[in-house]
Amino acid sequence: MSDIPSFPYQILWEERRILSVGNLTRDDAKEFIGLLGQVPVTTQVTFFPLNKANTALNALREGSITGAAVLLIIKGSL
């Protein structure tokens, strides 16, 4: 086996942000927002109580979740 190359741990553990600068006018934004009402947007969310976090992770690994997996912190779920 070959050695795993070293890299700065901050790349692994630090939170990342994606920033972009939009090149648009106020009228472009108004037109875009007007189009949002014409395009159906649906979300798919699967909720898991916090004590089922490992189940959620396994489902994500297996690809059996479509959309987002959300952990719920509910009294008594620990």
Model confidence over 48-66: pLDDT tens digits?
999 999 999 999 999 999 8
Give the residue-averaged pLDDT of 16-39. Answer: 80
Place of tokens 């912190």: 73
Given a contact cutoff of 8 angstroms between Cβ atoms, the answer to whether 71 and 56 are in contact is yes
User: Which pLDDT score is estimated for 78?
Assistant: 56
Per DSSP, helices labelled H in the chain are 9-13, 26-36, 53-62
Predicted structure pTM score: 0.48
